[in-house]
Every structure is written in C-alpha cells, then in structure tokens.
Amino acid sequence: MLCLCGEGAAAGDKVSVLCLEHPGELAEEVRKTGAEVISLHRKPGLMRLSEAIHLRTILKRIAPDVIHCHQMAAALYVGTTARTLRIPAILHTEHGNHDYSNWRQRLLATIAFRTPDKIYCVSRSIANNLVKYRLVAENYLTVQVNGIPLPTEKELRPATPTRKQLGIDEQTIVYGTVGRLARVKRQERLLRAVATLAKQDRKVHLILVGDGPQHDELEQISTELDINHLVHFAGFQLDPLPWIALLDIFVLTSDSEGMPMALLEAWAAKKPVVVTAVGGLPELVTEGETGLLTPPGDQEQLVKTLDSLATSPEQRNHLGNGGYSLVVEKYSAKKIAGTYRNGYLSLLQC
C-alpha cells in the first residue's frame, strides 16, 4: 500500500487512503508520500447506517476515478458504495486465505466480490481458494504478487541496533522473524526450536519483530523454556530492515500465508530463509535455490533444517543471493505499482 501511494504520487496521481476503522502505524508514512489519509472509524460488526452515510459522503467529496480495495471488508463496503456512485473503475486485491465454509461469511464474500471490475490475488493459492468456494470465476482473477522498494547497499548494512548493543557475539547464529504475534504465525514453534538447539549446546539467539495478541503468551513460553535470555522481543518496527540485517537466518513458521512482505524484505537483505510449506509460500520459494521449505507442525524437521543451515555458511550465502536476485527480477515495488497502474488505465480506457 505504501509503495503504491509513493509510486502513484511520483506519476502525478492524486492519492487518498481510506481506512475503514482507524489509521494504522503507517498513516504518517503514507502522508509523507503526499497522499491524504481518511478514517471512517467504523465500529466492529456490520456497517451501521450512520457509517454508510459517512462513507458515501467521503467518496462523493473525493470523487475518485479509480478505487482500489484491499481485503474483503473494503470490497464489501467501499466497493458496493462506489458502484452506486458510478465511480468509473473499481479494483480489489485479496491478500490472504480465509475459510468461507461458514454460510454468513460466504454470503458477505459473494456480495463483496461481485462489486469490483477486476480482482487480484497476491498468490495462486488465494485465487484457488476463491474458485473453490465458487466466489469468483477463474477467468475473473489475476494473480499479482506484492512488491517492495529495493534497499540500498547502505540500508543493507546494520547501523542500529548492533549485535554488541544486544549482547550477541559474532559466533552466535541469530534466527529471526518479522510479523504480527498472532496464533496463525505460530512463533512458538520457533521458540521451541531455539530451545532445542540451545540444549544441544548450539550458540543461538532469536529476534522476534512485531507485536500482537500473543505477545504475553510467547514471552511466557520463552520463560518456561528457559530461553528468555536468548530471545529479543523487538516489538513493532516501522522499518524492520535494520533488525533483519542482524539475522543470519530468517524464518516463517506460519500455518497460513499469502504473500508475506517480510519474506521479500528478508530476500532483499540477502538473508537465507526457512519457511513452512503453506499457502502461497511453495509458489514463492524454490527449494534449495531461494530458500528451504519445512512441513507445518513438523518440529523435528524444523530443528534439523535450522541446524543444518547454521553449519553451512556456503549454503546460507547461496540462498541469500538467490532470494535477492528473485526480488530484483520480479518483486520490486516500482514494477508492481506500474502493473497496477496499467490496470487502472485499462479500465478507464486511457
């Protein structure tokens, strides 16, 4: 989203970002691109009449040529309202897999996905999920990956924090991940793997970047495993790159993923990655070339994979370079933003 705002402003477009609930942590960064940030302050649950009227008033004032919705709720509320206002082009991007087996969720999704002129999914698995539940026809979907700004060489060199500041010596292997501390991310698997390696007298450390509802539970687990001295909870970081730069190995242990931006950021920092083979990850990661895949929930295999990679600097270098080359080739923010802009212009028939 931030990249799209920046690239849109650079192209001379007028950009407004509408938050359904409240502005998030990136709101100020969005404003720096020149985009307007607006909040509907919607309360949880179905949209109330007063909120619907407020939304309609906002869209009338902005009078956009194109609306680009992200996630189902935006398509449901903003997309349907935009359709009644005859806004010329409505696009939607779906970023994650959801369980639509519940009839109420499926009904809302059916309404939401009938609204856009074009629907993008950030991975093939997400597109397949929508087709599986007969929410969208296959020929109506386009798989469009996420993108990130490519960091400069200076940005790839860690400045602060440093290993010394964190009390980590140069011989220690530092594992880490970036993401919301939530159940689906399953960071406790990584905590348990580090605990197992520590018991095997491996010199290891773990950095968890992010915050969320599982923060206290994960801290408790690290204490119970007696590895709290080996774990840094870095909290939410607007710019996670300095923390990623500290890592020897980037790890995702999730139960579900679409196209995680953190993975692209790790690749852009030339870090080797170990990820669970779930969601869109097997589409993204080529085994042995751009990363290593492990079965979700296979704790023994996760430990073996992390340990074998730690003992092979040559393989870490190979995987890091492979991931970086992939990002440069396919996932630069400029390239992705250009693809979306072409989609906007195509619908407007410019």
Span 93-118, mean pLDDT? 92
As its CATH architecture, domain 153-330 has 3-Layer(aba) Sandwich (3.40)
Q: What is the model's pLDDT at position 217?
A: 97
The pLDDT of 38-52, averaged and rounded, is 92
pLDDT category of residue 333 using cuts at 50, 70 and 90: confident
Q: State the Cα–Cα distance between residues 58 and 221, nearest whole angstrom.
A: 46
Mean pLDDT rounded to a whole number for the chain: 92
> In this predicted model, what pLDDT tens digit does every residue of 214-239 receive, in sequence order?
999 999 999 999 999 999 999 999 88
CA gap 184, 186 in Å, rounded: 5
Mean pLDDT score, 313-336: 92
More confident residue, 350 or 78: 78
Q: Indicate where the chain has its CATH 3.40.50.2000 domain(s).
A: 2-147+332-348, 153-330
Q: Is the pLDDT of residue 158 over 60?
A: no
Is residue 112 predicted with pLDDT exceeding 70?
A: yes
191 CB burial (10 A radius; 0-12, 13-18, 19+): buried
Q: What pLDDT was estimated at residue 188?
A: 98
Average pLDDT over residues 259-271: 92
Q: Across-strand partners of 334?
A: none
- Residue 23: the pLDDT is 87
Locus of tokens 């539970």? 217
Closest CA to 144 of 119, 113, 116: 119
pLDDT of residue 26: 82
pLDDT value for 279: 87
- Among residues 212, 278, 256, 252, the alpha carbon closest in space to that of 96 is found at 256
Residues 6+ apart with CB under 8 A from 47: 55, 77
pLDDT-derived band at 344 (thresholds 50, 70, 90) equals very high
Residue the block writes with tokens 């190979």: 318
Q: pLDDT at residue 274 above 80?
A: yes
Domain 2-147+332-348 falls under CATH 3.40.50.2000: yes
Give the pLDDT band (50/70/90) at residue 119: very high
pLDDT band at 146 (very low <50, low <70, confident <90, very high): confident
- pLDDT of amino acid 162: 86
pTM of the model: 0.71
Question: How far is Cα 82 from Cα 270, in angstroms, rounded to an integer?
Answer: 42
